[in-house]
Structure 1
Amino acid sequence: MTTLEDPTRTVIGDGVDRVDAPLKTTGAAHYPNDHTYPGMVHAALVGSTIAAGRIRSIDASEAQHAPGVLTVITHLTAPQLERGPMTLLGPSPPAPMQDDRILHYGQHIAVVVADSPEQARHAASLIKVEYEPAEALLDIDDPRAEILDNPWGLDTERGDVTAGFAQAAVVVEERYTTPDNTNNPLGLFTTIASWHGDSVTVHDSTQWPHNVRTSLAQIFQIPESGVRVLAPFVGGGFGAGLRVWSHTILTAMAAREIKRPVKLVLTRPQMFTSVGHRPNSVQHVKIGATATGDLTAIEHRANSSVAMEDDDYEPVAAGSAVAYDCPNALTRDRQTRLNIPCPGSMRAPAEGQGNFALESAIDEVAHALGMDPLELRLRNYAEHNPVLGLPWSSKALRECYTLGAERFGWSRRTPGIGSMRDGDWLIGYGMAGVSYPFYQVPCQARASVRRDGSAYVTSAATDIGTGTYTVMTQLAAECLGLDLTKVRFDLGDSDMPYSPQAGGSGLTGALANAVHMACGNLVKEFLEIVRDDDASPLRGATAEEVTASGGRLHRTDAPDQGEAYTDVLNRHGLEELSADGRSTPPDPQKLGMATAGAFGAKFVEVRIDPHLGLLRVTRVVSAIDGGRILNEKTASSQIIGGTVGGISQAMFEATATDAGTGRIANATFGDYLMPVNADIPDMEVIFCGGPDRATAVGTKGVGEIGLVGIAAAIGNAVHHATGRRLRDLPFTIDQLLL
């Protein structure tokens, strides 16, 4: 059959338009908030106004008698629930409203159900709560807080870092901090739950329908077959939809109690306390190097915050263990338990924070040595995975450095601090080397060809705007030899074959390999049908001997000997033929190589007005090794979107928590700063390298890598322009006034 290396292929890699664009631009794409059911009612949440303590009393009598109210559920009336299961991303968050304890500000302490959303919100405001406050732990440096050392078992150590620093001519040791950031997808998270006996149908703003299915089944002690989760379109996520949050559970709880469909839409302030956030971090990085720029030791210690009874996964320092060819390296991660809402993944989790510290410190080493920052990185390039000692399955980072520098014009950079000017503006050039770890887990897909010659391919994935609908349509069309218009790819339904989450830059790889196998197995099914068919030119042919093109299979060495899928189906009286495929993650030891995630190099130009403290990013070049690129247009869009997120992380975003109450003080779009069009410069994306050797399709994922390194590159450019080393995100005017 046609392979992905076939030079005659026509659609893989092409920057075709999104197949779901007509639905979205015409308003025909139904998001969770767009659905309705006969007799559907509405829910509103009540959040705690203290960060720690207990509920002394809760009076819902006035709310229960308010117009349109059907029920009010509190911890006093809520059923006992099981905690959700262990997932690929760690344990589920705690079940909601199970006792009177308050663990963070905004914690859901009541849910009101009424005929209309307005009635539900009004009734929620009538609930009276008396608290027994306790002193909240809100500061990551609070000595009273519980510390979790090496919570994920990912700390690393090789060589002898003490000896390595003793050998160094230059040692840089600094502290870097990153704040809480909040995901803030445009679409407010919505859940609709409708029970039918012991079965429930749920529309949810999730990036992982199967996780919602598994979790609700365990929480409510019903079979997984009794839960159907639908999320064909999601209004953004950035990681916020990866966990099953309490509002989803409470919606299902309320719907079961009143035996009517219930819809719950979070408010924007509730999005800041209900669906995770990027946890803040305090990082200490120490790097030693010889006078010629050879790294002798890297030590990276990171502390990030976590909620009181949660187990969020965020190994901030781990990436430093494999970033450079350094004989002595130590990484340590720990977490501090605080009275904060449960954190969760936010685009480029862990690496988004850890790379800022590492790549800022690398730049500081280069400055101390008087060496070009690009030269220092190339000198310490890791040809092999430093932890496993195995060659990478692919790595084009050197090419990223070279082509990115050429396209950016790095050679025009003069090394002196403040040496580049345009009138009153100081100009700075900065860069960063970046990577994002390989992530791939099992996935399943099903492919069918119908008597009308069309193909239908499914998997229970989600498309949060990344282009999954489109690239999987392209891949299936390529594998089956069909025109794009003849292929329909559907997703977002937990009744479809199992898919992991849309996150961690792992979905495209896992799903693409499953789709590739399903299509390959479907070709084999067609060949099996005609194996003894005297009427078929393909009689006795094997998959290795045929090519799929033009809606037909033909012998590769004799293109005239073949027939259309439709002919086979018609002759054998079949309406359609289907086959399943599954992908499994590769084993590095069996491969004899280290599985590689994406790599890249980021180059940034900034301009600074030293009198006003104004910082403007004026150019960004991102050179990316993302393995095989299935669609250059959607992949470039991912890098551009990630770059905007990186600029936002560097210069704007910080979730502000009031130190006295634990209340988030900027939980609106009017107060939480994010960039607008005027803040975003010209951006150029270059793809380097080729297919990764670890998997059949050869993709590596580009969803996270676009954000990683932007903050460090901007900070390094600021230093080049001003001589000021900014080690605390975000970079603000007061840090830049000279």
Structure 2
Amino acid sequence: MTTLEAGRIVGAGLDRVDAPLKVTGAAQYPNDFTLPGMTHAALVGSTIAAGRITGIDASEALAAPGVLTVITHLTAPRLEPGPMTLLGGSPPTPLRDDRILHYGQHIAIVVAESAEQARHAARLIHIRYEATEALLDVDDPRAEIVVNPWGMDTERGDVGAGFAQADVVVEGTYTTPDNTNNPLGLMTTVASWHGDSLTVHDSTQWPHNVRTTLAAVFGIPESGVRVLAPFVGGGFGAGLRVWSHVILAVLAARELKRPVKLVLSRPEMFTSVGHRPNSVQQIKIGATRDGDLVAIEHHGISSVAMEDDDYEPVSAGSAVAYACPNVLTRDRQARLNIPCPGSMRAPAEGQGNFALESAIDDVAHAIGMDPLEFRLRNFADEHPLRGLPWSSNALRACYLEGAERFGWSRRGREPGSMREGNLLVGYGLAGVSYPFYQVPCQARVSVRHDGSAYARSAATDIGTGTYTVMTQLTAELLGLDVDRVRFDLGDSDMPYAPQAGGSGLTGALANAVHAACRRLTREFLDIVRDDTRSPLQGATAEDVAVSDGRIHLIEDSAQGESYVGILARHGLEELSADGRSTPPRAEDLGMAPAGAFGAKFVEVRIDPALGLLRVARVVSAIDGGRILNEKTATSQIIGGTVGGISQALFEETATDAVTGRIANATFGDYLMPVNADVPYIDVLFVGGPDRATRTGTKGIGEVGLVGLAAAIGNAVFHATGRRIRSLPITIDQLML
């Protein structure tokens, strides 16, 4: 059995297996841990964006009640830089010297007996600075420009020749602002040393990365570091890197020889754990009057910190989105005095798709073609760069079935042609793709003497449903009821797992679990291979199936026996097997591994006198490969849709252009949608299992967000005739 067949458990909309722990308060998040002798830490952040520290007076803080230590660059030991990771280099190590690279940079850590004492003492530290003029704008001519940072620029055909043969050429500049991840749970680190061994409870989306980084920074073996994150209060990408507050908590715990807990404040979350970087994009598209794309040119520049290499190729999606013969994409970065950016749900695609899909609509309008028809006409039947068939691509079905569900045929052809009373009504559409991403992963599965199964891997579940879908998958593959399976994660002592990010964990982990379960079945068959008492004597994995806690022959289900029986007869308490997955390669498959696809349909209503915009309804048609749990998958798309509405209409991290201070670093000032801003969201899944992997899954964590900003912008254009090219879309842009 090489692939996962349709079954009774996988795909079903089971409730989350971790829900009882969460709703009863029994789930322990990093902030919930209290250790004997635990101390509490608070951070001191820079109040300038660029310059040097010329003096630090910590005497008043050290004399404050309960204070145990103050660590600054003057007293900190030398720490090694963090390692290179799958997502690039580690952020700069804290407290290296007196330089200030951004506002809010961690320049001291205070540790006291209580959190209140630590926070109070942090305010008593007096810092003297020599400030210099900060670089804060990607258009600042003084900024260092990094060209093609990760070598991902693309070019095919001849864009100059393509534009020369175009009947219509549309071009424009699109801008997207900084956004801040803002998971509900404040990022927390609890660090405890035991001699040379370290245990860390951390709000991370990648326990193994934290283990590897801390081992490198503190010069200890990885085997001496254990990272625990069984429950994380959200992330959206904020937990993918090992930020300086984690290192500072570990450093303080080592210096004091006592456990240290550090909980970031909400304003610190805006400067400490990454953000979606802003972008300025120029896009130019050419087409014939018949509706054939002939050239796409997409240039993007985004911001990056002074000493960091986080990279988001915002133009890269344009290289593979359509069957266009001549395409050029170019990305650059401007080094600025800003906090280190990081991944935020749908990194790069969230920004780049807004520009591409808005411009695609403009081209359709210019040639007088329905935007849906234009996209269908230019659908890429094969991977545009590789020239190979997709391992799966149901984008065409997403367009057609989504349009039918939405009622796209009712759309008036001309902008401003649809009204409801005094309100302008607009229909908008965007096509969506999210790139394939998978990396190696490992899992271990055991069956115990009582017939229950225990599976584990060092992954995290940031609310996506990993606990649940992996429990379902294990149960399906071993022929057990769900309540007979336990799946554990969030412990770096477990088999290696990659990050919960990039829409790649479910595929990688599912394939590792699949491999482990199949190997475990073979282990059972090996035990009874020469057992004359077993009806499975001499059977191979190709001869058997599993159900009801038994292994049995495919041709005669009565010929088989239970796991319990095999273990008992051979005197075994349990039997275990390891599985690993490796990402498929196009060269081996003869196909291009495909990520998720989708089509987003949006209806907006606008009061032209007041400039008020409401999203009335959304239909998201998604090709996510095999859906392991329809309920949790639907929840993922709904959550991503809300994030897309937020990106389009609300979110903007406002940085003071002179000081570099983030001016809206609280939930009271940083705008996000509330229930009244979220319309009816209809989700439908189309397509089938992907051919690239055994389980046929694709990641859907990001594809839910991508395309909403463009679809809303296109709906605004349809309602008003006004093209909005900067996010978020605000009242002043809509007043007619």
1:714: which partner in 2?
A: 712
Amino acid of the structure 1 residue aligned with 2:89: P
Q: Distance in 2 between matches of 1:175 and 1:412?
A: 31
C-alpha displacement at 1:2, in angstroms? 9.4
2:587: which partner in 1?
A: 589
1:284: which partner in 2?
A: 282
2:108: which partner in 1?
A: 110
Q: Distance in 1 between matches of 2:178 and 2:331?
A: 17
Contact 1:2 1:481 in 2 (8 A): no
Amino acid of the structure 1 residue aligned with 2:105: Q
- Of 647, 653, 659, which aligns to 1:649? 647
Q: Distance in 2 between matches of 1:287 and 1:654?
A: 28
C-alpha displacement at 1:4, in angstroms? 2.1
Structure 1 residues without counterparts, runs of 5 or longer = none
Amino acid of the structure 1 residue aligned with 2:371: P
Q: Distance in 2 between matches of 1:653 and 1:607?
A: 20
- CA deviations 1:517-540 (Å, max 9, x no partner) are 000000000000001111111011
User: In structure 2, the residue corresponding to 1:354 is in which secondary structure?
Assistant: helix
Matching of residues 718-737 of structure 1 within 5 Å: 718-737=716-735
Amino acid of the structure 2 residue aligned with 1:5: E
Contact 2:544 2:553 in 1 (8 A): yes
The answer on 1:385 being equivalent to 2:383 is yes
- Of 33, 36, 44, which aligns to 2:34? 36
Q: Distance in 1 between matches of 2:143 and 2:612?
A: 38
Q: Distance in 1 between matches of 2:709 and 2:293?
A: 23
The answer on 1:499 being equivalent to 2:504 is no
- Of 633, 636, 643, which aligns to 1:635? 633
1:176: which partner in 2?
A: 174
Aligned residues: CA RMSD: 0.6
Amino acid of the structure 1 residue aligned with 2:715: A
- CA deviations 1:2-54 (Å, max 9, x no partner) are 95225xx2101000000000000000000000011000000000000000000
- Of 212, 229, 232, which aligns to 2:230? 232
Q: Distance in 2 between matches of 1:539 and 1:95?
A: 59
Identity %: 80
- CA deviations 1:185-210 (Å, max 9, x no partner) are 00000000000011100000000000
User: In structure 2, the residue corresponding to 1:336 is in which secondary structure?
Assistant: strand
Amino acid of the structure 2 residue aligned with 1:283: Q
Q: Distance in 1 between matches of 2:311 and 2:582?
A: 22
User: In structure 2, the residue corresponding to 1:126 is in which secondary structure?
Assistant: coil
1:270: which partner in 2?
A: 268
1:666: which partner in 2?
A: 664
User: In structure 2, the residue corresponding to 1:122 is in which secondary structure?
Assistant: helix
The answer on 1:298 being equivalent to 2:313 is no
Matching of residues 459-498 of structure 1 within 5 Å: 459-498=457-496
- Of 127, 130, 135, which aligns to 2:128? 130
1:63: which partner in 2?
A: 61
User: In structure 2, the residue corresponding to 1:19 is in which secondary structure?
Assistant: coil
- CA deviations 1:292-324 (Å, max 9, x no partner) are 110010000000000000000211100100000
C-alpha displacement at 1:370, in angstroms? 1.0
Contact 1:2 1:546 in 2 (8 A): no
- Of 65, 73, 76, which aligns to 1:75? 73
Q: Distance in 2 between matches of 1:162 and 1:149?
A: 21
Q: Distance in 1 between matches of 2:726 and 2:304?
A: 20
Q: Distance in 2 between matches of 1:143 and 1:688?
A: 48
User: In structure 2, the residue corresponding to 1:118 is in which secondary structure?
Assistant: helix
Contact 2:3 2:694 in 1 (8 A): no
The answer on 1:152 being equivalent to 2:153 is no
Contact 1:431 1:712 in 2 (8 A): yes
2:4: which partner in 1?
A: 4
Q: Distance in 2 between matches of 1:721 and 1:626?
A: 31
The answer on 1:193 being equivalent to 2:194 is no
- CA deviations 1:447-468 (Å, max 9, x no partner) are 0000011000000000000000
User: In structure 1, the residue corresponding to 2:380 is in which secondary structure?
Assistant: coil
2:84: which partner in 1?
A: 86
Contact 1:3 1:479 in 2 (8 A): no
1:256: which partner in 2?
A: 254
Q: Distance in 2 between matches of 1:420 and 1:79?
A: 67
Contact 2:2 2:694 in 1 (8 A): no
Contact 2:4 2:696 in 1 (8 A): no
User: In structure 2, the residue corresponding to 1:211 is in which secondary structure?
Assistant: helix
1:99: which partner in 2?
A: 97
Q: Distance in 2 between matches of 1:211 and 1:3?
A: 30
Matching of residues 612-627 of structure 1 within 5 Å: 612-627=610-625
Contact 2:596 2:699 in 1 (8 A): yes
User: In structure 2, the residue corresponding to 1:560 is in which secondary structure?
Assistant: coil
Q: Distance in 1 between matches of 2:141 and 2:321?
A: 32
Matching of residues 678-717 of structure 1 within 5 Å: 678-717=676-715
User: In structure 2, the residue corresponding to 1:366 is in which secondary structure?
Assistant: helix
1:45: which partner in 2?
A: 43
- CA deviations 1:129-186 (Å, max 9, x no partner) are 0000010000111011000000010000000000000000100010000000000000
Contact 2:70 2:108 in 1 (8 A): yes
Contact 1:471 1:630 in 2 (8 A): yes
Contact 1:189 1:265 in 2 (8 A): yes
User: In structure 1, the residue corresponding to 2:557 is in which secondary structure?
Assistant: strand
Alignment size in residue pairs: 736
Amino acid of the structure 2 residue aligned with 1:269: P
TM-score (norm 1): 0.99
Q: Distance in 2 between matches of 1:106 and 1:415?
A: 50
Q: Distance in 2 between matches of 1:99 and 1:385?
A: 48
- CA deviations 1:601-646 (Å, max 9, x no partner) are 0000000000000000001000000000000000000000000000
Q: Distance in 2 between matches of 1:717 and 1:75?
A: 53
Matching of residues 338-353 of structure 1 within 5 Å: 338-353=336-351
The answer on 1:25 being equivalent to 2:23 is yes
C-alpha displacement at 1:590, in angstroms? 1.3
1:602: which partner in 2?
A: 600
- CA deviations 1:377-424 (Å, max 9, x no partner) are 001000011101111000000000000000000000011111100000
1:512: which partner in 2?
A: 510
- Of 364, 377, 380, which aligns to 2:362? 364
Amino acid of the structure 1 residue aligned with 2:208: H
User: In structure 1, the residue corresponding to 2:559 is in which secondary structure?
Assistant: strand
Amino acid of the structure 2 residue aligned with 1:95: T
1:329: which partner in 2?
A: 327
- CA deviations 1:487-537 (Å, max 9, x no partner) are 000000000000000000000000000000000000000000001111111
User: In structure 1, the residue corresponding to 2:683 is in which secondary structure?
Assistant: strand
2:372: which partner in 1?
A: 374
1:567: which partner in 2?
A: 565
Amino acid of the structure 2 residue aligned with 1:727: R
Q: Distance in 2 between matches of 1:417 and 1:468?
A: 44
C-alpha displacement at 1:432, in angstroms? 0.2
Amino acid of the structure 1 residue aligned with 2:374: L
Q: Distance in 1 between matches of 2:171 and 2:311?
A: 26
Q: Distance in 2 between matches of 1:83 and 1:539?
A: 56
- Of 315, 318, 322, which aligns to 2:316? 318
1:222: which partner in 2?
A: 220
User: In structure 2, the residue corresponding to 1:395 is in which secondary structure?
Assistant: coil
Greater Cα offset, 457-466 or 584-593: 584-593
- Of 437, 440, 452, which aligns to 2:438? 440
Q: Distance in 2 between matches of 1:394 and 1:489?
A: 29
Q: Distance in 2 between matches of 1:176 and 1:737?
A: 20
- Of 552, 567, 576, which aligns to 1:554? 552
